[in-house]
Every structure is written in structure tokens, then in C-alpha cells.
Structure 1
Amino acid sequence: MLQIALSGAGQVGREHARRLAPAVGAAMGARLHSVVDPSPAGAALAAEQGVPHHRSLDELLAAPLPDAVILATPNDLHVPQALALLRRGVPVLIEKPVAHDLAAGQTLVEKARQSGVPVLVGHHRRHSALLQAAKASVVAGELGRLVAVNTTVLFHKPRAYFEAAWRTQSGGGPILINLVHELDTLRWLAGEVVAVQARAGHAQRHLPVEDSAAVLLEFASGALGTLIVSDSAACVRSWEQTSGENPAYARDDSQDCLLLAGTRGSLAVPTLTRWQVEQGAEASWNQAMRRDRLSVAPLDPLTAQLQHFVEVVKGRAEPLVRADDALASLRLCLAVHEASRSGQVVRLAHVQAGVP
């Protein structure tokens, strides 16, 4: 039974702990080793789960080591804590984003490569059965060559959300808080992005931080993408509200928030409604397309991610999201933020244009 310690007893940490409880964790061959968190909430979670409590990572590392650690700590602790674990040879699953800035993230990428110790990053949507079905459809060429991608990230955050002062200041808006999820998904489905344009607005709450933004993406394949995000829109077209994968959010399962359009068909997600040009026929707006819906079995992405982590630690799988991959998603998110701030086209120099 793999012993996995949890650093961080916040909302995400508690979700991990719940999935490592004996009734659930045993099925994946893992159990909660201990909880690391200096707050009373950390001690309470450890007591609730019946495991040791450590006030710091140093305390954990001074005791018999776990087989692996999940880092669900504040962003600025991700890299220093991960580096401490790598020095002791302990595999780690880091919650997204991988780092608080690019320099720290690059340091982690290099140290992970040198150590050979598994480092995974918790972009859990890649474990979604819905998105894996969409990915398989794209890879199989069922849509032809991707032409356009459209994503809507529209929701309304409640007033209480902004009682935390940092959420009303620069860096606390939906671009840096929410879009790393969506942009990682788009990179995974449609490939790397070579250039970004964006416009942000503050018209609804009149705060220093944006409440809405529109983004234009140019993919290395030549496809173009549009993304609209707002946390002040009374709308259900966001991943959480359409996919039903997180029960904390109200759901409308009749709606989609992502459209992948290619030369031979298109796919709406998460309903997985697919349109395809008939075999041998010419694609034309004068001809009706065949319409169907992909079918997938329900799956909890966080549980699937933990199962994958266990398999990687045991040497039976390769990481789905490595540190360098997650760093590319962070880099893209920061490029969107810079484009919205400057009004200029931001080109991602590490990506070569024209690469499919």
C-alpha cells in the first residue's frame, strides 16, 4: 500500500485526503500517510483521517519518509517544497499552477530532469473521460485538420468571493486565477500556441483587476482560437457548470463550453455532440452532416489522477503532465495576461510556428 503524505489542508487538499481515505484509497493501492499544514485546519484534517500531523515539511522529512507527497499548498511554496522532496528522492504531485513564476518553474524542471524523480502536476482535467474522448477524436482525425477552437468561460462569482482582498487587486482576476485550466486543455487538445492577443475589461465591478477578457490564440498548426472569460456573467457556459465533474457547482448538462471545428467535422464538449461530413462527400454548407454523440462512462478526474500518480510512483506508467508541460501552460497564461495589459501581440518564442 503506497504511503502518500498531503501538504496543504485547504479545499483542494481536503479533496485529495477524502480520496485517500481507506474506503477509496485501498482500491488504488494507496493510503494517506500524514497531513502537513501549520494551521488548526491541518491538525483537524489529520485527526479526522486518523494520521500523523506535521506543522512543516521539515518535520515530515525528519520522520520516516512517505512513498510520495501531494503538494496542495500556496503557489509560492510549490517549487521550494518540491525541490526539498526531490533532494530526498520523494515523488511529488504538485497542484496547478506548477510555480508562481517562470524562473522558479524552470528551476524545478531542470532539477526534476537531473534527479529522475517523478514530478507530476495536477492539471486534473486531462484525466476527464469527456476530454480524453475529445482528444481521441482529434488524434484519430475524425474532425479532419483543426481549423478553429472556441471556448467560453462564463460564470458569476458570488459577492463573498471578493471578501479576500487579494482577489480585488492585480493578479486576482479570472485571467491568472481561472484560465490556466482552460489554456492547458486547449494546448492538450489543439497543440501549442505561438501568438496571443487579448483585451481585458473592468466595467462590471470597477476594480483594479479585470472581470472579463477576450483572447485570440494562434496555434502552431495554423488553427485559430477564441476564448471569452468573465466572472461577472450570469451564464452557465463554463467547464464546471456544464461537465458536472465537480458537484459543488450547479450544472446545466444541455450546454457546451468548448467547440473544436475541423475540415471534416466538429465536436462540442462536454455534451460530445459530433458532426461529420459523410464519407467520400465534399464538405459544404449546402449538405447536411452526420450527427451523433460520443458516449463515455462517468469518471471522477481527481480519483483518476491519484490512481495515475500511484501507477507512476510504482513505475508502471509515465506522467501525463510533467513539470515542463505544466510550465508551458503557465507561460501561455502569463502571455495572455501580458497581452491584455500591453495591448500588443505576444509571441511565444519557445514554440515554432507551422509545427502541427
Structure 2
Amino acid sequence: MGAIARWAHIPGILRSPDLTLSALCDTDSGRLEAAAREYGIPPDQCYSSGEELIARSGVDAVDICTPNDVHVPLALQAAYAGLPFSVEKPLALETAQAEKLARETRERGLANMVCFSYRFKAAARYAKALVQSGELGELYHINMRYFQAWGMPVCQTPLLWRFISARTGSGALGDLGSHGLDLARFVTGREYERLVSHNGTFVHEREKTDGSGLGPVDVDDFSNTMAQMEGKLPAVFEITRFAYGRGNYQRMEIYGSRGSLVYELDAEPDRDTLSLCQGEAMRRGNSFVNLRIPGECQADQTQCFADILLGKGDGLAATVEDGLKNQRAMDAVLRSAKSGQWEKV
């Protein structure tokens, strides 16, 4: 069981009154046995391959929280078996994969969710409601930052799968940038039209996880993008895993003709906040007011998946179709970083 399974997915299943954890899969037998003991899963419901779990376990739905290269293969297996699924982000390694999964899911009419987890932050949901109600007026600018620090040399992070393109597709872009691209689209309701990007790598070799020496890093450590969204709305994205002092920091600023919003995550530990400015447009100093976020904006990612399975989803969770649009934007970022030119999404 990887970190995202233990920190987010399994606790979410255990919290939900509508879900039961009934089978587990891990390619590491030691981790699988430990998780089975911890969560009380019988040996005959523990599997070393996702394909076997899907074929034999008798589950009603599948939750896929694996490295990126396995997302689409396992989701396709679930789709072919007629099983609803949730899957971690980014959806795929490249657009063609995402298109195939979207097509197969669409044709079968299967319930599904892509785990863009920050859609479930209350501040993000309230920002969406305010923006799309016209509270800010005509939108002029979006600036999105997503900063972490764990890639820095001082952190001594080894050559994890997130640094290997064959496993992950891209680096900071897919890990963090996929969230940023999705959040801006989620809050504004606008699609991406074209963009230009600059990606780069600071650390080109890292210690292999088996201790056998150094191995090459072939993905980006940072990604900076200027994008044009629908209505010629300009958006700027700064993404890095080399921001000293930033554990998991997000900041999205949205500027309009009648006001501005600032969404922040982790400015205070593990807390999402939203502030609004609708006072003097040219005032010097901070005229932003912290907003009290309505209780109805609170949401739990895994419970939202349960609601989707029960036919009562709120329509705000990301689907495979959203994952496909996100993948198209990321692939345009990679093309632009290589060509040095604006690219259509």
C-alpha cells in the first residue's frame, strides 16, 4: 500500500457509511500482508495483481491509487468488467491513453471519478460558486501557484517512480501542475485554448531506491506556463518541487472587474482559506477580507465517490472526461516546453 492509499483512500473508505473495504491489491507481498492484518481483510481477498482482483474479488467498484503508468490499464480492466471506478490523477501518461479510457467508459455508461482532490476543498468550491455567479464581474487574470520542497537536494529524496518518465509521464507538471490546471478550470468553468511553457530539471541524477548507485532523472522539476482560456482569459501557472519551506502550498489569485479572490492552501498548516477584495480598486495595502465559507461547501472525496455510485453525486467531482481535458492541457505543456512555441490545447 502506497502513501496515497494509506493517507487518503483507505481512511476515506473506512469513514464512509456507504462503503466497505473488501479486497486489497499490492505487488509488494510484505506491504499487502501488513495492510491485510491492519484492516482485517482475509487472505483470499488479497491480490498481487489488479487484474486478478477485478476478475475474482466480487467487488462492486474499484479504487485505483497506483503509480501513473498503471492508471489506464487497471481502469480499462474495470470498465471491461462493467465495474465503476475511481482513479488517481493524472489520468494517463499521454492523451491517446486518456481518450481510449474515456471512450470505453462513455460507451458503457459507467460511474467514475478522477481524484483531483482539491476540488473537495471548501475554499475552492466556494470560489467556484462566487466566480460563476458573477461576483467578480468580468474576469481579467488568473495566477496559480503550487509549491512543494521535497525534490530539493537538502531533502535527499531518492529516485522514486515520480522521477522516471516511463512510470509518471511528467514530473512536477503531472504531480502538481495537473492539480493547478484542474483547479483553474474548475473554478472558472473555462477551457484551455493555447499555452506556452518553460519546464526544467535541477537535479539530473538521484540515488536509486535499492542503493545500487545513481540513476537518471528524466522529468521536470518545475513547470511555468502562460495559458489562454476561453474568452481570451489569461492564466499563469508556477509549479515546482523546489520551493524551500513549502510543504504543500497553493495560491490562486483571480482578478475581475468588480473584485478579486485569493484561494490559499497551507498558508496555515492544512487549512484552506479564501479572501475577497471588493473595496477600493486602487487601495494600497491589504484590503482583502477573509471569508467565512458556508458549511455546504464542505466535501469528502471518498464519500463523493460513494454518492456517485448511489446516483446522488453533486456534479462537482472530476470525471474521466475532465481527466482527458486535463491530459490534453498537460501534453500541450510538454510540447511547448520542447518547441519553445505557443501550442493549441
The residue that corresponds to 2:244 in the other structure is 234
Higher relative contact order (CA 8 A, sep 6+): 2
TM-score normalised by L of structure 2: 0.82
The residue that corresponds to 1:31 in the other structure is 20
Shift of residue 224, structure 1, vs aligned partner:
0.6
Deviations 1:200-223 (A, max 9, x none): 344x54666443332111111221
- In structure 2, distance between residues paired with 1:117 and 1:180: 23
2:140 matches 1:147: yes
The residue that corresponds to 2:2 in the other structure is 10
Q: Secondary structure at the match of 1:103?
A: helix
- In structure 1, distance between residues paired with 2:284 and 2:163: 50
Alpha carbons of structure 1 residues 345 and 235: separation in structure 2 relative to 1, 3 Å? farther
2:316 matches 1:306: no
- In structure 1, distance between residues paired with 2:296 and 2:23: 26
1:92 is aligned, of 85, 92, 102, to: 85
The question of whether the paired residues in 2 share the 8 Å contact of 1:154 and 1:235 is answered with no
The residue that corresponds to 1:183 in the other structure is 181
Deviations 1:285-313 (A, max 9, x none): 37999743221268998x71111111111
The question of whether the paired residues in 2 share the 8 Å contact of 1:187 and 1:329 is answered with no
2:225 is aligned, of 209, 215, 220, to: 215
- In structure 2, distance between residues paired with 1:43 and 1:185: 37
- In structure 2, distance between residues paired with 1:259 and 1:136: 15
Alpha carbons of structure 1 residues 300 and 37: separation in structure 2 relative to 1, 3 Å? farther
- In structure 1, distance between residues paired with 2:204 and 2:51: 43
> What is the 5 A alignment of 1:136-285?
136-157=129-150, 158-159=152-153, 160=155, 162-164=157-159, 173-190=171-188, 191-202=190-201, 204-205=202-203, 209-236=219-246, 240-241=248-249, 257-270=251-264, 271-277=273-279, 285=282
Q: Secondary structure at the match of 2:228?
A: strand
Shift of residue 185, structure 1, vs aligned partner:
0.6
Deviations 1:33-70 (A, max 9, x none): 11112212122112210013122234324435112110
Q: Secondary structure at the match of 1:31?
A: coil
1:341 is aligned, of 316, 333, 338, to: 338
- In structure 2, distance between residues paired with 1:16 and 1:168: 23
- In structure 2, distance between residues paired with 1:115 and 1:144: 40
Deviations 1:239-294 (A, max 9, x none): x336xxxxxxxxxxxxxx1101001100011231101158xxxxx53799974322
The one-letter amino acid of 1:317's match is: G
Unaligned runs of 5+ in 1: 1-8, 243-256, 279-283, 349-356
The one-letter amino acid of 1:47's match is: R
2:35 matches 1:45: yes
Unaligned runs of 5+ in 2: 206-217, 265-272
